[in-house]
Structure 1
């Protein structure tokens, strides 16, 4: 099985490629600009910002909220967004006991996630599934990235910084993988800070909810024993694991490690440092009921439904979006130079001053009351996704047009014709041709290009009054305009330079120039839509990237490999997931 990624910079091979994006974009070495083209014409009267440092990262995070694929490719989240889960949404909790869950605990949006986690446990009363319905809009805080992957490679960074108000503080208890301790600490932070938050949304293979108090906001709909047929007798080991209220306990106290030697690797090293990689769960499921061997595949299948469409039943309140890609957090800027987005870290690099300011801002946002939770404002996530949908596939087609390898390779003239048509299509809605001569090569670009560039850059934001925007929204507006500014300038230069086409030598020169410009732009944007399986998977397959804890290498870091490929149901149930 082959797989395709149009951008070598992305997570195709997780290679580090120089991308000095922490400088104003008009001086970005990877995005060459023509200072004589007259493209930069904006004045303060328009409140247009086109040189926001880190705009590509902010835009990427904004467009990727609550989507599985981009957050799997960029696991080290930097962004926190208040959100509400719609009233009457169904949520699920499975556990291998008859008892109802204590508070706090986890909920899943999909029963496949809850079932797969608990179905193969060899102890308890068998898996019991509780189904809840939200009795009102539930107020939550969403952490982006792979924020539920138990690793010290960056996925949990923002949560630890929020809790401790600083970085470089090793998590207590069993370290990075002690999620019960983290759940307790997050809920205590929200309660002690008097924040109007019921829980937290995170993602690993699918999205989950960390719920602080089961006595509020939820109605129990059903509580079923869903133990699979032909399940062998269960042992009476304690649950949860690790045991509740004992985050500093030891595995030896449970007498489990002798039966499951794989668990011993979860202990700290002699240095006392918490393990940085997530634990690999013991493969006890292969010895349990034959009816559970596909549960992991079905969990993965459901997660892939969220690859490009956001998790449903969740309303993002982007007026309160806080991102640590905001250039005001200056301690993080130099650490991103020459690093792809997949390698960015918060916990390891943020200064105490920046961390404190970020948490203060987050707490202020979460105390806005009805101005936050009841505000029906601008859907910035949809605006960013609209931009990505309009531009992404056409930019990818431009990139593919310059592929001279194989029997479908095009000569320079054919390449230029295809790319010129794509550039014109992208600019057509903003190009007023009333005063143009019949042919482009007879026109003066100085007359029609500057206003075209302005309309192209400001199309989704021109009517939005700055006076109505929060400080966080002003940052999002600037990020969108900066990204569009660079995109519009690129296709504008292509369209103008196409006037010079003619001789074979000139066409080859222009084609090479365009090829490099498109490649640089795609590397700078690093959009997940350019990462996909190169052929349509069958109905018994899902196109998936590595995603802990269901499928892929154990490491949660950027070098874990496993690009997108079709994962086969039959192979899964007979061989298990490929690690």
Structure 2
């Protein structure tokens, strides 16, 4: 039996699939209360407000959970936090267009890759003989499935073809893998969730083809249903387990070679222009991937079905190096068991709280506040002008405090209830909490939001004290500065990273990706990436503007 406290205070009980309410429900509650303690096990009964102490979580785990929810299906966020340790149940609506390219023009008769963006598949197939005449130094002509850069068996050797598919029914048994899950190589745990899903004993030298084959076979056996797994490279891709299930072919176009479209009289001009066309195709792919920095909206997540290793075992907070494939076997088996249960149900994104929407509201609100606070403290450290510091911080915090502190409570200065009200205002679930995942996400967001608001309220108090008394508050300012810097460092929000310049119309703000790319494949030779003294490649703090000539020059056609 489970209990649900409805969004309007009505109590419901479900038992053996039946739902009852009223007096019978009260009798059941009374009996249960007298015999056992109510515990927070899934399915979790929703309530308002929830005390996060039901699921204690420290700030680092809370931040990691917050980011995995906030980052999901976002290109920029996923590559900045490449080693994902979680997955979501996902859903692609009926009528969605998907793209696949190969060199035989045949619908795959087994699992294969599709792209959400046509530019991805178009760039992937390249320019036939012209590309072979002048290969890139980094070999972006990459069929992703096989290890060692080899083409998969279904690839073919004929002319390039680009197929468009359309879903004839919702794909509601998909798994979305967090992080840079299509990196195809690892310096951390980019491929770990796939290693675990494939149930491979060897966590090194992961073969895309072998692993994907094992995942699709396992996911479609013993009562499970898996339509595919969603990953990010440059743009989002889906490994479709069965092209003949809930999909139809819309178009199948054999792409003309450059010399077939343009009859050049000069071979040298043909070579120059072919290289430029190829670079532009790669630029278009990067640009299309960048459209999803704020989210791939054609894919929906059932966020009540979020399965994570976080708060279960120690996980390295460094998202570049953390691993889960080497966790204790019991922990991995527990995770896999939850995936097994998930694949026996359908994704229902409209029936759960959109936690990502809530996280986006928090990030948009507090990113400029935090970064302006950080800058104000940094300037104060240099010039020591406390008057400027106090007024700037007061301006940042004043309206947040005034919004939640009742006039009668101003003299008390404790404002505990005001902070509690503010927290719940920002993270209030849109639907009753139903699952363990809901509780984990809610508790994480509560912890993060509490830290944000306490910093704002304390900043207001110190600023007000100085403005009213002109006391020497050097220690208080120093403490606030440290707290601000530490919180920003802990949060690691992708919103903290941006282009250092304003790009021209024929440029884009380039966010490096992991795995095959027109601007570097390996971790060591990527544009916009720096190899640290610890041997770990990390994306630079400031992004740069690029155009198609950047790609042309980088690859030295």
**Other structure's SS at 1:133 match:** strand
**2:509 match:** 543
1:464-488: CA deviation from partner (whole Å, max 9, x where unpaired): 676x411111111111111111111
Q: Deviations over 1:476-522 (max 9, x none)?
A: 11111111111111112222222331577725443322211110110
1:89-100 to 2 correspondences below 5 Å: 89-100=96-107
Q: Provide the C-alpha distance between the structure 2 equivalents of 1:67 and 1:418, rounded to a whole number of angstroms.
A: 33
8 Å CA contact retained: 2:79, 2:180? yes
Q: Which whole-Å CA distance do the structure 2 matches of 1:537 and 1:187 have between them?
A: 42
In structure 2, do the counterparts of structure 1 residues 58 and 513 end up closer, same or farther at CA, with 3 Å as the change threshold?
same
CA distance in 1, matches of 2:502, 2:487: 27
**Number of the residue aligned with 2:417:** 451
- The worse-fitting range, judged by mean Cα deviation, of 223-232 and 90-99 is 223-232
The 8 Å contact of residues 193 and 363 in structure 1, kept in 2 or not, is answered as no
In structure 2, what is the Cα distance between the partners aligned to 1:435 and 1:479? 28
Note the C-alpha offset of 1:82.
0.7
Count residues with an aligned counterpart: 457
- Contact kept? 1:157, 1:345, Cα under 8 Å: yes
1:52 matched residue in structure 2: 57
Name the counterpart of 1:293. 279
Q: Provide the C-alpha distance between the structure 2 equivalents of 1:293 and 1:231, rounded to a whole number of angstroms.
A: 19
Q: Find the partner of 1:479 among 444, 448, 455.
A: 444
User: What is the aligned counterpart of 1:390 among 359, 362, 365?
Assistant: 365
Superposed displacement of residue 192, structure 1:
1.9
* CA distance 1:487–1:324, change in 2 (3 Å): same
> Which residue number in structure 1 is paired with residue 227 of structure 2?
198
Structure 1 equivalent of residue 171 of structure 2: 138
Per-residue CA deviations over 1:135-173 (Å, capped at 9, x if unaligned) read 111121100100011113221101111221x7x6246xx
**Cα offset for 1:125?**
2.5
1:351 and 2:335 aligned? no
- Aligned to 2:407, the other structure's residue is in SS state coil
Report the alpha carbon displacement of residue 191 of structure 1 after superposing the two structures with TM.
1.1
- Larger strand fraction of residues: 2
SS in 2 for 1:209: strand
What is aligned with 1:243?
none
Deviations 1:328-369 (A, max 9, x none): 2x2xx1x52xx523321111x311000000010121122234
Per the TM alignment, residue 196 of structure 1 is displaced from its structure 2 partner at its CA by 2.5
The structure-2 alpha-carbon separation of the partners of 1:417 and 1:405, relative to structure 1 and needing over 3 Å to count, comes to closer
Normalising by structure 2, we get a TM-score of 0.76
Label 1:573 to 1:346 Cα distance change in 2 as closer, same or farther (>3 A): closer
Query: Which residue number in structure 2 is paired with residue 576 of structure 1?
Result: 554
Residue of structure 2 equivalent to 1:147: 181
Q: How far apart, in 2, do the equivalents of 1:558 and 1:525 lie?
A: 20
Query: C-alpha separation between the residues in 2 aligned to 1:535 and 1:578?
Result: 25
Choose the corresponding residue for 1:360, options 337, 340, 357.
Answer: 337
Return the alpha-carbon distance in structure 2 between the equivalents of residues 483 and 115 of structure 1.
42
Q: CA RMSD in A?
A: 2.8
Residues 300-354 of structure 1: per-residue CA shift (max 9 Å, x gap): 11111111x21021111001011111x12x2xx1x52xx523321111x311000
| Shift of residue 422, structure 1, vs aligned partner | 1.1
SS of residue in 2 equivalent to 1:187: helix
Q: Does 1:128 align with 2:131?
A: no
Tell me if structure 2 keeps the 8 A contact 1:294–1:572: no
Runs (5+) with no aligned partner, structure 1: 1-43, 233-284, 437-442
**Aligned partner of residue 404 in structure 1, secondary structure:** helix
Report how far residue 296 of structure 1 moved.
1.4
Shift of 1:555: 1.4
Whether the 8 Å CA contact 1:199–1:212 is kept in 2: the answer is yes
- The answer to whether the 8 Å contact 2:82/2:179 transfers is yes
**Unaligned 5+ runs, structure 2:** 1-46, 133-156, 262-270, 525-534
Contact 1:553 1:560 in 2 (8 A): no
1:207 pairs, out of 236, 239, 242, with 236
Q: Distance in 2 between matches of 1:96 and 1:169?
A: 32
Does 1:525 find its partner at 2:530?
no
Indicate how the Cα distance of structure 1 residues 315 and 428 shifts in structure 2: closer, same or farther if over 3 A, else same.
Answer: farther
Greater relative CO, 1 or 2 (CA 8 Å, sep 6+): 1
Match of residue 320, structure 2, among 342, 345, 350? 342
Q: Distance in 2 between matches of 1:480 and 1:183?
A: 33
Q: 1:553 to 1:214 in 2, by over 3 A?
A: closer
Deviation by residue 1:38-90 (Cα, 9 ceiling, x = unmatched): xxxxxx99531165131110001111110011110111111100111111111
Question: CA 1:465 to 1:73, structure 2 compared with 1: closer, same or farther past 3 Å?
Answer: closer
1:84-121 alpha-carbon deviations (Å, 9 max, x no partner): 11111111001122333332111001111111111145
State how 1:61-72 maps to structure 2 within 5 Å. 61-72=68-79
Contact 2:198 2:212 in 1 (8 A): no
CA distance in 2, matches of 1:126, 1:190: 33
Is 1:186 aligned to residue 215 of structure 2?
yes
Q: 1:286 to 1:206 in 2, by over 3 A?
A: farther
Q: Which residue of 1 aligns with 2:399?
A: 425
Aligned to 2:527: none
- 1:77 and 2:84 aligned: yes
**Matched residue, 1:377:** 352
So what's the TM-score if we normalise by structure 1? 0.73
